[in-house]
Structure 1
């Protein structure tokens, strides 16, 4: 799977950008904060989903708003070219796949393309950065070996983390000599519970003495109850005597008062009845005197004809409704006319012309369809013109690049020198061979000089007695003689060979570089010329395509059929269409309203005719009912005055007659009361009533006192001064008994509670239950520790099988890569029996991985990563993404890793992110993308 193109709608600081990637190696270059990491995260998040907001990962949503997401165009060996689009939606984003055959896919198809890999698995194999490599320096040997093992085996890292977590959990559950682990604490708690159970068993022996003392207290409490009952009985007798003493005294006084008063037979409720009759008689006499003083007014007759006026006034609401409807209709007609004139001025048409336009819904739908077709046609024309402009810009860039390239064309002298060099290469070899033969003459001269120096040295050594010097000198002279004999018979060098050697000897590399330079220049020229021809062909093809105007013509013809001006713009035609429809609606509403107004005006004329007939005068619609009410009031006032005078005279006479009859009736009732009481006049009647009322009051006061004495019952014979003293003595004795009972009850409760706590409080059972529960919990913890132990053993066996089966093949390839990256300084990368990685130097010396330098550790890590990625090429053909991981490499090893990636890129796509100028030039054939200069519109 290779990534061909990135289309960024909006992601971090990048917005509306399109980036083309190379098929083998693409280098993203940019300074700090240029957006390299943003593009790297765009690739990973588009493939595997946006991180959730609760994750510690950045989502790169656009700061300036806009569409969030983009497309990654890939070429997969199984699925072909697929555009993977992910935009903002659900937590991980909404993903859509566009296949070459036009079909679409979603998450299920993307999961199949990614071979069921998630982001963590992808980053553990195919993506790494300088930050991962920098962490190697601070790792221990065990951590470093585990990291290298995980980098060389898929899934090993997750299994190793699980093993570490389980070992930590086992340590939290049990340690042999620990105190904090859960099993160790549970054992200590069991021991403490056993001690508490022994203490509770010793306290159970006090139960029987507590019960014996409780029975003694029960017997004494029964005696106290009997004594209290006797005291209460005697106290009640004394209290009854004290309660009845004032009642007896009051009863005797009231009986003496009742004996003095004499009783008489009085009418029932006599006083009140007499008072009422006296008051009524006095009131009647006052009213008679008042009426007799007032004269009676004369009688006046009048007749009023008001029926027709009253019927009209009863229908006043109908008149007002008619007037309101008429005014409202006139106002509405004025508004409709004004709105119609406003709309006609907006559309620039007369009413008759506007009414002729067909503004049906069917025509509106067809109009919108024509507008959409015209917009689409214009968009296609703009796209063709924009595409033509882009191709012309590319053609201009290609011509500019060709012109600039031709400025550096090699000179004729360089090409001549190259041609002469190609011809001189075989001859130069012959000249070198002849030169070696010619050099023998010079060697002969050197040999003669060496013999002379040797003889002179031997003579000097013999004279000075330095035999070592003499021996060395003789040896030099012998060497000169041997060399002179071996070069015997040499010939001189030809002039042509001398010329070739003087011209080319020692400059072979210079002329080979010249040959390579000319060859590269010629190939690049061919590429530029081919690109120029292709650009010209694309421009010519786009220029030949005619501009489409069929939809525009159909749109104009449709406007003419509608009765609209054909030059009307598409932006205003829809609004014009709506305004014409409003004009049609207003015209219909105005016609209906005029018919209603004519009806209201006819009803108004009928009302005026009725009112004039009733009043006998000319009236107008303004203030009609005011005039009617005024006329009615005038007629009713005259009639009411006459009626009131007649009614007042009749009522005066009837009232006099009624008062005289009432006075006589009251006097008769008063005489009946006096006869019943046996009194001569009202004053005597009132005196008898007072005596009767006083006697009745005494009887009422005496009755409840007798009732209370009867309720108290028989009283003891006690003198008045002895009762309080006896009552106080009984109260004191009762208080003493109460204090004794409370004391005994408190003691009994204490003893019973102690016995209850010993027997049935449940504390002993609770401790026993805790003891059993603690034993169960201890068993559960032991079971849990055993399960974790079994899992860790299974993990160790799995790791061992991975090391024995899968890892050797990866390490075998990593060994070659490691040797290449270190310049053959190390011949192998192996794992010792203890599970630690070792690097084997060329001389056989072994080094633990932690003993190596930071750069060498990184090269081992890189070797394993690349080896694992290469081994998974067929099952997981993903591109390899690197974020500047070579900053610690020296110049020589950096060149080694560049050569290795150049070799591997033939079968793998590499995407490299860097901020170093030198790395953008490391791979001459790579597609170099300047992140800061990547500006290109995206059309979705």
Structure 2
């Protein structure tokens, strides 16, 4: 059955929505509250009916009203394309089934489509979720085995529920050490009553012996009464014997005469009967001889092999398909081993591994994702440290280059350095320049009006301050020197202005000084500028050189530390890689590729090991089959023609078996006839012997002679009968045979004496009984004991009733366990074989199968040593793998009768990456036969199942609509 489309009219939060599904795997992805569970419940509600309003399941009726229900479109291998529509109606809704030919049906037609599965049976096989798997962690071994058993067999859930209910009810009735259960309460009450009864009996010790003695007296009186009656009868008998003694004497005479005759009886019509029987016996004996001859011929036929030979041969011939499959598996495993071995050697060659010890170390190395992360972290650390070393080395080289450049600039600057004389002139020039400025200012002031003479010095003074400040701030020492000189001139002018006009001699002196130094001013300005430039450059170069040297030392220290860190990172990485057999540190760029190749090498080695196991398994089975065949055929035959010889031997044994069967039937028929003949002969012989025995004869002659004597005895017998008819009036069965008159007289006297003694004993006992009666009447007035005894009997009856209830429930529980055992024997083995195959694939061959022990508990079989592990001892994810394997195996076994899709609600969240990958491979392998509808809130599942039909639940309904039918 393939579900093609879900059409939701109105269900929960979804309204007017259409969802298209495909063959294979369909993934419905969405975050929490997206409506995935609503879609899952919609599918189950439409197929199996809406729950009652007071039911534990939600009805998911639309919150905004509207039409409630929808359609499920699917293709069925038996019924073709069908549409199931269920809308609001009666309690479970009104259902309509539309078939491919246009016909319609109702609930009965839907039941046929669903193969009469109800919701509970469907969910127990074809639908499972994370909630069912999460409960495994809290289960004990018995609960876990029952859950796995319910997953591996159909119909057992209801039995398990009934058994649990009965166990609970039995626990309410009785527990071994309980106090609250009813039977335990009743048992405690019975013990208390029994104790009280014992105490009451001890108080009535006098009553019981008296009652016992009275009962003994009654018995003695009865015995004495019987003795008295017997004595009376003996007295009457003795009197009768006295009267019949003469007749007895005559009887003895006739008996003596009859004793003299040797034959007292003869069979009626004996002669004729004897002759008829003798003739028949001769005929029967002749027939018996014929039958015995035929049986001897049949028994002389050749003997067949032992009885187990043909069944063993049948079983071996029936395994021909398995034989060819084993041979095919062995060839396939051998070819796969060859390819994998070549591939592994190629990996070893690529990795440069030629030492077996290193190869073994490499195959056992840990290449987990965690180790890969550790490797990448170490590799990244080494890369970072290497980059840091390269950076520091570049900075150090750049610093060295800068230092060389500065030294070269300094050498070139030293070549252009001013002489000591020029430097001395520059040092003396500020004083000369100051005096020259004063002279010029003096002459200028002389030619300037008085107002201007006062303004100019102050302007020069302000200019001097500005130039000096700017020169000092900007470290332009020329401007600073000029500012100082101008300030000196301004100060001088101010002083001169205040002191009055100079004399003419002073004017002349100033003019001569200006004329003397006027030509040097321009030269000295150029020289001062050159010297000042030299000093600034020299100072700047020395400052730069000092800074570069400090940087070089810093970089050298940083390079040393970076080298140490790089060495530590390299050592740590090398230590990590030594575990993988590396004697030296390879190139950093190929380490991830080497790690990947090691992982692939280990995967190839595991596949090679699995192929070797399959090859060994197939070889073992082939060898076992060959050994059994050689044992049966009692000769060696080639493997290729084994089954030709087996079939020929089988046909030969079949022919011999048929012939033996025919002979056996004939032999059985002859034996039955012989047995009948023997019985007839024995009967005739017995009749013949009976006739001889009746005549007291052993031979035929004695038989005929006895007949003559019998005739004489008949006459005496008739006379004796007449006499005995007279004596028969008296019962002489207990009379002595040799009585005399004296003996009878003595016997009469003894009887009289005994009667007197019996009468006296009766009188004594009656007196004692009267005395004891008075005593017991007084003790009997106390009724406490009888009341307690009645109460004890009532409690015991209640306890017996509860015990019967407990026994009936125990019997039903035992029957359920027997039924479960039969289910395990009949249904579980096939499912278990397939589940073991799935479980082995999911665990990567770590566990090769599942089995159920005699105690009913599941065990996992470890591959490496075939050790059995209880399911509860496995990890949570491995338990879930066992549960899912059984579910999938059961669905696979029912595919022919119940080809339903499999619905899963995020059951793989506990799986790691490797197990999840195996699980997805298994689903992809099974999707050719089954449709899977997988609900998940994990986006990673959509990436793992990217080839599947991915449906984002949060996006449905935006531009899709349901078409109301």
TM-score (structure 2 length as normaliser): 0.38
